[in-house]
């Protein structure tokens, strides 16, 4: 194990890695040690919280919720049936060539412009890859631009009066544009001729237009926005450390993945996972009562020295981990709601960054500004500008 980087780029405030499970003064239970966090996330007596779930339930009254917001046997069965779209074998066979082509296209954009915001390049890539997996392949105009407008404003649940009205109009307009120009054309084509993708599966299950739209918005957030942010933070680390970058570029795919896994362990895009308990849940000798809101601190748990070893807040690819601890920690979650697109995200990140960092003379000319979005417990990086010589 060799330490090659100074540590976190994204500030997460005060963390308490390894802190035992406890209830805070606000009544929220907090878990910040790795073993307890993993055990709790695998427990069945919980349901999803956070990610705007209450607003989604109001909007989706009388219809099936997107898979992100469901729990129990129905959720597990849906995940079982759709798992085939995200296996490493499927990703390699169906999407590797596409990822290379799309990465080459974005590198060509950079070469032509000479300078570009990395988040714009990476978002184009992430949208196209996730769109292929989901089935959003019949779009009219720029789906990336429409999704950017949609996600630029996450509704504030505490907004009142004119502000709430403005947010509501914005969401209706941008979601409507996404439906009419991206989702509806894809559904129409697949109702005539089924394809091997997520939208076709949803049609087979009898989902209506609103339900398919809800699933597509969820996949957009989980598979496009988060991948864009991870590409940016990984590039920030690699541009900022000559030794780490040289090691990454000289390595084979397996070792490059280790580098990316370690960066993601340290910089999880979503720092907190929220759950409600549906009955008493006992973890690590402590009973969390039914009806409790639980904050699983992913960023803290990933820095628990008992799980990830010495110098837990530094990038150390190939570090010695405790038994059962994954290279990425809990950055993709765990249990029933573990992100199914983990392999896709890592592979497309690797393909894009190896292409980008191999461009002669490429350099970072401006570090990004970091925005923490508390409503989704995630970071957003803006303004990471890269440049290649003319």
Contacts of 358 (CB under 8 A, 6+ apart): 249
Which sequence spans correspond to the domains of the chain? 22-387
Share the mean pLDDT of the chain: 89
More confident residue, 287 or 14: 287
Q: Which of 367, 331, 357 minimizes the C-alpha distance to 233?
A: 367
From its phi and psi, is residue 367 left (phi > 0), alpha (psi between -120 and 50) or beta?
A: beta
In this structure, the dihedral spanned by the alpha carbons of residues 53, 58, 60 and 64, taken in order and rounded to 10 degrees, is 60
Q: What is the DSSP letter of 85?
A: G
- Tell me the two tokens of residue 275: 């759950």
Greatest mean pLDDT among 126-135, 164-173, 253-262 lies in: 253-262
pLDDT of 1 above 50:
no
Residues 118-131: tens digit of each pLDDT: 999 999 999 999 99
CATH code of the region 22-387: 1.10.630.10
Rg (CA), the chain: 21
Percent of the chain with pLDDT over 70: 91
Residues 40-78: tens digit of each pLDDT: 999 999 988 877 666 666 666 666 777 777 788 888 888
Kindly list the distances between the CA atom of residue 228 and the CA atoms of 103, 121, 292, in Å, as whole numbers in the listed order.
13, 9, 33
What's the mean pLDDT in 164-168? 68
Report whether 66 contacts 43 (CB < 8 A): no
């Amino acid at each position: 194990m060799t330490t090659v980087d100074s540590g976190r780029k994204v500030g997460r405030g005060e963390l308490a890695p390894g802190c035992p499970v406890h209830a805070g003064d606000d009544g929220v239970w907090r878990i910040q040690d790795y073993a307890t966090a993993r055990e709790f996330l695998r427990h069945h007596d919980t349901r999803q919280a956070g990610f705007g779930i209450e607003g989604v339930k109001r909007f989706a009254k009388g219809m099936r919720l997107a898979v992100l917001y469901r729990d129990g046997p129905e959720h597990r069965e849906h995940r079982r049936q759709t798992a085939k779209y995200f296996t490493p074998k499927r990703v390699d066979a169906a999407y590797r060539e596409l990822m290379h082509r799309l990465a080459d296209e974005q590198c060509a954009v950079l070469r032509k412009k000479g300078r570009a915001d990395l988040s714009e390049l990476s978002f184009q890539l992430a949208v196209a890859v996730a769109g292929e997996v989901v089935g959003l392949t019949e779009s009219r105009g720029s789906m990336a631009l429409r999704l950017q407008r949609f996600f630029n404003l996450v509704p504030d649940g505490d907004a009142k009066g004119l502000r709430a009205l403005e947010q509501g109009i914005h969401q209706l307009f941008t979601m409507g544009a996404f439906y009419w120009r991206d989702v509806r054309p894809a559904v129409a084509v697949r109702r005539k001729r089924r394809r091997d993708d997520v939208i076709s599966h949803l049609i087979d299950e009898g989902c209506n237009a609103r339900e398919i739209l809800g699933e597509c918005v969820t996949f957009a957030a989980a598979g496009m926005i988060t991948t864009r942010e991870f590409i940016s933070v990984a590039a920030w680390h690699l541009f900022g450390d000559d030794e780490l970058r040289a090691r990454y570029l000289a390595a084979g795919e397996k070792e490059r993945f280790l580098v990316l896994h370690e960066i993601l362990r340290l910089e999880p895009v979503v720092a907190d996972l929220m759950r409600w308990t549906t009955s008493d849940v006992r973890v690590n000798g402590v009973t969390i009562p039914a009806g409790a809101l639980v904050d699983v601190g992913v960023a803290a748990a990933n820095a628990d020295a008992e799980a990830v070893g010495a110098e837990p807040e530094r990038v150390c690819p190939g570090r010695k981990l405790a038994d059962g601890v994954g290279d990425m920690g809990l950055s993709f979650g765990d249990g029933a709601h573990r992100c199914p697109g983990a392999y896709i995200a890592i592979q497309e990140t690797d393909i894009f960054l190896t292409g980008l960092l191999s461009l002669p003379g490429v350099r970072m000319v401006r570090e990004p500004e970091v925005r923490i979005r508390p409503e989704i417990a995630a970071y957003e990086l803006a303004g990471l500008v890269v440049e290649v010589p003319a």
